[in-house]
Structure 1
């Protein structure tokens, strides 16, 4: 390269950095923003964030800067909410002010503001209301949907039995099981696990969730009054499949890995199943109230893995006073749910898997306001009730019939996630399902 050309490029870079810094200082000086680490021009705080474990980095920053702090993801400024009190105040007590969906570049490119998860304003209100009403009409929260889940659990049992105690990787048995529940609601039918088109769809869901959970994931209106367009309906269906398949199946897959590491806990769950349900019938939701230990284990799985550690981003649509700060219009808000699920005031030894976090001393199940794996407030997961039902019925049905065995010594099982960014993905593993 010619010296003059190199000098020109260097000068252009310097001028760009100075321009960015000057603009940032002008913006910073006008607003009473929450504190945070000083950003670099263009890069922001990117170099200070451990993208392989973003939630842990935000935990450390929250301990340093307090429950409300500012970060720069590149040129974009975001505000992080840390701890139960700040998240409850924003998402529940002042839900209308924080109800907007924030920017997630990869999702923005795919969804284009359509559907239920990443839409905003009147579109989001209409589609969420329609989705909840339709799901209820199709049986969500009723006995009919419980029967569909029980039926699918029996198909899943057959697939476990087909392994004949040999090692297998559970991902593509669990994902179709959960997806078939959504299929039965949306299409009125289910699909066999060896259906090629169905399994291709499962692969796409699994791959997409891994992309969103990796560091790479941190990167048409019709003019009328109605939001009930074909594009919105298609994206709503895609949202239901994505949310109703990969999150719940990943939770159960992570939960089985935890049981492989702690066989004594698996044994106590099976003892409770045998005592309450027995072997002659399948578990049902009415059993849950009599199974506090099993219920506590499922809750502890969700708490411990913190599957979506930062929730999905929120945003403020206008300049918003919050505590002693002013959050500017359009700012993306990240509620750090892990900071609530790992709060040592509520959960002693939060980094340890311990079902006693959800049990009273006398063995009764203990509810906790800090249990927020589905987020909180107006943007809480629309399928929370369905997911809870699925997790309980699939979990208990499998353990009623099989003992899960690891291929390695339990002490060698690594419970740290394979990816930890937008989502915490469990590591790939194999197990043996031994009939009881």
Structure 2
């Protein structure tokens, strides 16, 4: 038996050694690692994006890391990221998923991993292009569809404002209220109707997302991706993963069934799920596509938006002058009587710039989802072979002092011109909070709308204050907790109702 074990160990060691000696990225610089495990033991999962930024400062805008036998190219500056996402987006359009994502988004209702059929995690193919097209149509981001989305959002946002005020001026953590508000907006978008917080659908989604958070906090998904056989050894992430997938699949299957019944009866809700099921009936999408796309819409839009808003509150209690300027603009453009609309954005450059700076400063999604080359190509002057994993460090790009002076300072004026107008997109160098190119976030339009409506609606009605003015929590996003998204350490705020009169004068 001992002889067999020794043989197996020898084979594994020789295999690893051969992989390292025949590196396909030998010409690209990077931190020196262990001869057997590469840089795997050096990675800090709690501050990975900052560690990669520091390595980028040492080894250059393009460098490599080694995780056992897998070599990964990391890009961390605007010119090289632009090359990957825009100039050569066709070359880098693939998706590299580890076991974790392939299990989560693999075959519906089965306890196994497989190729995802959604948009976010599906590899680039003709099927991906088709899914992306019909996802856009289901979201109805333009025309009359946006009006319905705004209506759903405003109902929930006003409920959140009421919830904030219900604390009666006592300190509270805003995270839960914002999370519930964002979650219900996304459920309403999918089902095409308002859903109460005590409903079965809301409770189930809330439970699933909590399981997902538990899975992130386990912290060993990277190990599971590298060694899938760890699932047979009591891996905590795998147990949470099973629980997540089982509950997620059951709920989304029930939603698809509800949509099928609605289409058959003619009592349509015009929700995104219903529209996708119609495409399924017409043979334009598969069942797996519909299931995966609904999952993308639901989960991608909740954590990022709610976390960005919560982090923005942390900024506001540290920057009262910013809050006052936003409120002055709200009072002048909207007043205190009517609700904000998306049309107000064109007349509120300071508010829009404050939101853009929050997206840059906090960079909720510090690392974009991994890309994969689909042909031999290059970036930053380095050759990159086909089938190479590429990490895009959005955090490093957004905190690059070559483009943003004093990048760890929140400064609204970065996104305003000399005349006070909002800088146009083509002048916002080194700023890509939603990505760009073939893999751009499908929910960007909806996310921008939600952020504006939430900020304008809330600050129209209330002042956001710190719990203790002599001990305000640190807003430095480099000190946030990293678990897929960059999450602020829990903090409390105090909310007081504003007194408006004379058309909004304070």
TM-score (norm 2): 0.77
* Range moving further from structure 2, 371-380 or 419-428: 419-428
Instruction: Report the counterpart of residue 503 of structure 2 in structure 1.
Output: none
Instruction: Report the counterpart of residue 223 of structure 1 in structure 2.
Output: none
TM-score (norm 1): 0.89
Q: Deviations over 1:355-389 (max 9, x none)?
A: 12112234222241322111111101001011000
Cα 1:322–1:227, aligned 2, differ >3 Å: closer, same or farther? Answer: farther
Instruction: Report the counterpart of residue 228 of structure 2 in structure 1.
Output: none
| 1:212–1:423 Cα contact (<8 Å) kept | no
Q: Deviations over 1:50-107 (max 9, x none)?
A: 2221111111111122121111133321111120000101110111111111224422
The yes-or-no answer on 1:95 pairing with 2:155 is no
Instruction: Report the counterpart of residue 161 of structure 2 in structure 1.
Output: 157
Distance (Å, rounded) in 2 between the aligned partners of 1:148 and 1:191: 10
State the 1:13 CA deviation: 4.7
Cα 1:318–1:412, aligned 2, differ >3 Å: closer, same or farther? Answer: same
Cα 1:290–1:141, aligned 2, differ >3 Å: closer, same or farther? Answer: farther
Instruction: Report the counterpart of residue 331 of structure 1 in structure 2.
Output: 388
Distance (Å, rounded) in 2 between the aligned partners of 1:77 and 1:227: 37
- Aligned partner (choices 175, 197, 204) of residue 171 of structure 1: 175
User: Structure 1 regions of 5+ residues with no counterpart?
Assistant: 220-225
State the 1:217 CA deviation: 4.2
State the 1:110 CA deviation: 0.7
| 1:156–1:173 Cα contact (<8 Å) kept | yes
State the 1:177 CA deviation: 1.9
Distance (Å, rounded) in 2 between the aligned partners of 1:39 and 1:152: 50
| 1:272–1:294 Cα contact (<8 Å) kept | yes
The yes-or-no answer on 1:238 pairing with 2:295 is yes
* Range moving further from structure 2, 348-357 or 105-114: 105-114
Distance (Å, rounded) in 2 between the aligned partners of 1:347 and 1:280: 38
Provide the secondary structure at the position in 1 that maps to 2:336: coil
Distance (Å, rounded) in 1 between the aligned partners of 2:148 and 2:494: 32
Aligned 1:246-395 pairs, distance under 5 A: 246-367=303-424, 368-395=428-455
State the 1:144 CA deviation: 3.4
Instruction: Report the counterpart of residue 462 of structure 2 in structure 1.
Output: 402
Q: Deviations over 1:127-164 (max 9, x none)?
A: 11110022127868733332332233222222223332
State the 1:421 CA deviation: 5.5
Cα 1:230–1:59, aligned 2, differ >3 Å: closer, same or farther? Answer: same
Instruction: Report the counterpart of residue 132 of structure 1 in structure 2.
Output: 136
Cα 1:251–1:116, aligned 2, differ >3 Å: closer, same or farther? Answer: same
Provide the secondary structure at the position in 1 that maps to 2:390: strand
Distance (Å, rounded) in 1 between the aligned partners of 2:196 and 2:142: 22
* Range moving further from structure 2, 207-216 or 197-206: 207-216
State the 1:198 CA deviation: 1.0
Cα 1:138–1:292, aligned 2, differ >3 Å: closer, same or farther? Answer: closer
* Range moving further from structure 2, 45-54 or 240-249: 45-54
The yes-or-no answer on 1:66 pairing with 2:60 is yes
Distance (Å, rounded) in 2 between the aligned partners of 1:267 and 1:22: 62
Cα 1:410–1:134, aligned 2, differ >3 Å: closer, same or farther? Answer: farther
State the superposition RMSD in angstroms.
Answer: 2.6
Q: Deviations over 1:207-226 (max 9, x none)?
A: 5257448743434xxxxxx7
Q: Deviations over 1:382-424 (max 9, x none)?
A: 0101100000001110111111122233654033454226321
Instruction: Report the counterpart of residue 110 of structure 2 in structure 1.
Output: none
State the 1:428 CA deviation: 1.8
State the 1:272 CA deviation: 1.7
Cα 1:8–1:134, aligned 2, differ >3 Å: closer, same or farther? Answer: closer
State the 1:14 CA deviation: 6.2
Cα 1:392–1:53, aligned 2, differ >3 Å: closer, same or farther? Answer: same
| 2:75–2:393 Cα contact (<8 Å) kept | yes
Instruction: Report the counterpart of residue 183 of structure 1 in structure 2.
Output: 187
- Aligned partner (choices 452, 467, 473) of residue 413 of structure 1: 473
Q: Deviations over 1:186-241 (max 9, x none)?
A: 2111212343651342243255257448743434xxxxxx7722222112111100
